[in-house]
Amino acid sequence: MAAIPEDVFFATIPELNRRLTSHEFSAEDLARAFANRLEQLGPRYNALALPLPQQAIRRAQDVDKEIKRGRLRGPLQGIPYGVKDLISFKDKPTTWGAKPYAGQVFNYNATVVDKLDAVGAVLTGKLAMVELAGGGGYRFPSASLTGPGLNPWDRTRWSGGSSSGSAAAVAAGLVPYALGSETSGSIVTPACYCGVTALRPTYGLVSRHGAMALSWTLDKLGPFAHTAEECGLILQVIAGKDSKDPGSAGKSFYYTPQYSRPMKELKVGYAPVDFAERADASARPAFAAALSVLKDAGLQLVETKLPQFPYGPILATILGSEAGSIFEPLITSGKVDELADQAQIAGLKASLEIPAKDYLKAQRLRRLIQDAFSMLFAEVDALIAPGRSGPASKVDQRLDGASPAPAGTPDAPTGFQGMIPAGNLAGLPALVLPCGFADNLPVGLQVVGPPFSENTLLAIGREFQARTDWHKRHP
């Protein structure tokens, strides 16, 4: 086994691909190094659900034979990765982060795993998550079979939910990239807290077949990596039509940075209140500097208002109704009481009581939200806001403390505070970009666009990362 230099653990996918194809080291060397690192350091952050070293090494050996024969399958060939433990891997436990499902095994792979396998990617492990991806709502970060997700920048801080292990593993250099999921914030939040780049794709662009359902009409799978470019390379592989996912949009994605529009042609909407008043005081300098970088890049920043709807209650009604239906067997069997978080247990039980009329009304309002965003995106190409208002919370801090009035309520100031539930209700893609530090912890931006505008968002991300080095920082 060739010695793997330390810089490899934080190298980008294109860098690793070049070093593999130039035979600086083999795919097997790389797989062994990352598998060992994940197994040794993953528990330090409560990020590891299941190590897969033997499977990774066997797959990497096959990749080495392909490379030797000149059969090159693209930039992900031979690159290790991890998946959130709600994504099935054949004949291995898929626990959904929850005790009642600790022994659950599927006899098939999720579609995204098969797609990555087809290009020679090497799965080295399954990554920890909040139990049931947070279904029912949870009060503490400890709502997980593996314990609270610990932030690699400061283990007294949370790595974010529910894709806690995916974000932490990338931030700590345990995997070059990882897949997570979002129903309402579960990609955006951990990416911001852990200082990594991540992409929430348009609803339906990536198949969810073989992934745990929390909300059929909200769930999305997406990548965590170091750069926007890598997110584009990963999305190109995992996107596409899948008849096994009833929510599939039937569209493919091709990452085409060579055709991106000049930055000076793009109008980006933002709300100054989000950066100057709503952001934590310690984070405001970082957010202000990020806006300056975007202006210097030529983007036309246009003061914009988010359409006024009660996004939080609408999303909660839809998510709760669908989660109650999905997890009805768990709830009615009494096994729901095995979950780690009492608030989540109570929330799931209450979800069975949501009236059908409320669910239907929420879905009708959702249609109005989608129409309102269509009108908004006739005026701007994208929207930008803080991903979270500040850095990661303490790992023992309650998650249901007092907060400002939700956007859309009469006493709430205008701004993009409701961007996460709004974007998920409308099925919009979002790119998370590390943009600085507050209290020695990373903070991030979210750039949101109309459906299937991923290439535009990635172009903005690439330009921002060409002018900054926040994505190169690591714990």
Judge whether 198 and 223 are in contact, CB under 8 Å: yes
Nearest to 387 by CA among 316, 442, 348: 442
Residue 405 in 3-state DSSP? coil
Alpha helices in 271-355 (DSSP H): 272-273, 284-296, 311-326, 328-333, 342-351
Q: Is the dihedral of CA 205, 137, 226, 304 positive or negative?
A: positive
* CA gap 81, 145 in Å, rounded: 21
Is 186 one of the annotated active-site residues of the chain? yes
Is 84 one of the annotated active-site residues of the chain? yes
Q: Which of 84, 115, 126, 220 is catalytic?
A: 84
Token pair recorded at residue 354: 């949501």
Q: Which of 163, 164, 181, 186 is catalytic?
A: 186
- The set of residues, in sequence order, having a beta carbon less than 8 Å from that of 304 and lying 6+ positions away, is 269, 270, 271, 376, 379, 380, 383
Nearest to 34 by CA among 173, 197, 167: 173
Nearest to 435 by CA among 474, 402, 391, 468: 468
Judge whether 30 and 60 are in contact, CB under 8 Å: yes
Burial (CB count within 10 angstroms: exposed 0-12, middle 13-18, buried 19+), residue 359: middle
Q: Which of 26, 88, 159, 162 is catalytic?
A: 162
Token pair recorded at residue 99: 């005790």
Q: Element (H or E) spanning 264, and its range?
A: none
Sheet holding 441-448: strands in order across? 48-51, 122-127, 80-84, 178-182, 220-225, 197-200, 430-438, 441-448, 382-386, 267-270, 300-303
Judge whether 218 and 322 are in contact, CB under 8 Å: yes
For the chain, the 3-state helix, strand and coil shares in percent, each to the nearest 5, are 40, 15, 40
* CA gap 166, 159 in Å, rounded: 9
Find where tokens 């090497």 sit: 122
* CA gap 376, 211 in Å, rounded: 32
* CA gap 430, 423 in Å, rounded: 8
If you ran DSSP here, which 8-state letter would residue 392 be given? P
Catalytic residues: 84, 162, 186
